[in-house]
Amino acid sequence: MLTGKHLIGGEWIGGDATFASSPALGPARDFATGTAAHVDAACQAAEAAFPAYAALPRAARAAFLNRIADEIEARGAAITEIGTQETGLPAARLDGERGRTTGQLRLFASHILKDDWLDRRHDAALPDRLPAPRPDLKMLQRPIGPVAVFGASNFPLAFSVAGGDTASALAAGCPVVVKGHSAHPGTGEIVAQAILAAMEASGVPVGAFSLVQGGTRDVGEALVRHPFITAVGFTGSLAGGRALFNLCAARPEPIPFFGELGSVNPMFLLPAALGARGKAIAKGWAASLTLGAGQFCTNPGVAVLIDGPDADMFAKATETALSAVPAQTMLTDGIAAAYRSGRERLASNRAVETRFKAECGGRQALPALLETTGGEWLSDARLGEEVFGPLGLIVRVRDAGEMLELAQGLHGQLTCTLHLEAADMELALRLIPILERKAGRLLANGFPTGVEVVDAQVHGGPYPASTNFGATSVGTLSIRRWLRPVAYQNMPDVLLPQDWA
């Protein structure tokens, strides 16, 4: 079923160079290596397709999105088979992620048939107004042009070729050029096959979607620098995302870069909740911390609590729960190596105590539990750096005042969580105004892994959690990233976009 090629302008295109996949199990496969020439061809096709694709009626774009979902579901068994081989993720996880992917497509199909996302506004003319008449003004949101999307390593479906960035951009009327992730190129190609089948069946211009596989960092740089690309969606590391963000800003015509870059997602265990439910919270934290080998951007890596006997009990209960978790396969050799390196960097810090740490090699990962004090955290910024994997850090603060100080010093986060009881409300009311400025999503008595794809969701936050605090990469609000408002003054109705009607 695999061609090992790029999908560009409706054609499968190879090249002189190839790279071999590095699956967790099963055979390695060869894929064409992307080049700047492939990027240029894909961007040229996207630009050529933009006028016709953007002009499609919303019902036609909705039907296209639903057809993509149908085609992905028809290839479900093949996607799961190669996805488990490439990533090491269990079949149940991939089946669930495929459902989320098709669900996102169908959600946006439904969303664009409504009117609220267009934000239509009309100020009627006032020809008799003094001292000067007012013109007729109509405004609505319009698609911005071709969009570049970078596939994520940790979500081979929901944040990849046909993931949320692609679904929302296509819904907005923007062609998409995807830079596929080299960790799961076979999975990406089968999804691209589904999109091609949907384009052909729906009569959509084939330049509306292209996939460029593999390639060095130069290929990604060529994509964000291409003059036909008008915005970028990215999920990945802080270093890689910041480099691309800087390139977008340095272009002759700067463009927005919507990057999700990293977060430790701190939890604050308030005193009454810690005393009443400390063991249950510890068990839940361990489960969330190790879900998917900790390879979630919302992994709750830090627990902040006031020192004392209840903190001792919580730490012991977490240690017990984590010690029962078996080794898990990580997504790539590089991610596994980075996890071990980050864990050792943190554990070797003189201010950190290791409560639990087990050795493992290759692509396997075992959890770790470390501990420090609020004073050390506040004096050493390195303690707040993300370690991508199943590692938890307990931070014991002296009192509520130091907890508030720690919250005030946080960098931007995707999520912050409060575990609280009725007796904790006074402290919670002091924390909330601080945490609102630190994160895009605030939780009470839960765990942040598991991001609902709904209208009210926000998956983003102040830098470095993301590069644009006013945007989200999950939920229907994410479509706004690929739109811009246009006002039409005294414009005859026949010349207005059909979405005005």
* Catalytic positions: 260, 297
Tell me how far the alpha carbon of residue 55 is from its chain's centroid: 28
Instruction: Match 């054609």 to its residue by tokens.
Output: 11
The one-letter amino acid at 363: R
Question: Cα separation of 82 and 79, whole Å?
Answer: 6
Do residues 268 and 419 lie in contact, with contact meaning Cβ atoms separated by under 8 Å? yes
Peptide bond into 462 cis (omega under 30): no
Q: Count Cβ neighbours within 10 Å for each residue of 434-467 and write b for 16 or more, e otherwise.
A: bbeebbbbbbeeebbbebebeeebbbbbbebbbb
Give the pair of three-digit tokens for residue 29. 């496969």
Question: Cα separation of 444 and 164, whole Å?
Answer: 26
- Residue 124: CB atoms within 10 Å: 10
Give the pair of three-digit tokens for residue 262. 């990293």
Do residues 363 and 389 lie in contact, with contact meaning Cβ atoms separated by under 8 Å? no
**What torsion, rounded to 10 degrees, do the Cα atoms 100, 165, 151, 54 define?**
120
Q: Count Cβ neighbours within 10 Å for each residue of 247-261 and write b for 16 or more, e otherwise.
A: bbeeeeeebbbbbbb
Instruction: Match 């992730």 to its residue by tokens.
Output: 181
3-state secondary structure 322-373: HHCCCCEECCCHHHHHHHHHHHHHHHCCCCCEEEEECCCCCCEECCEEEEEE
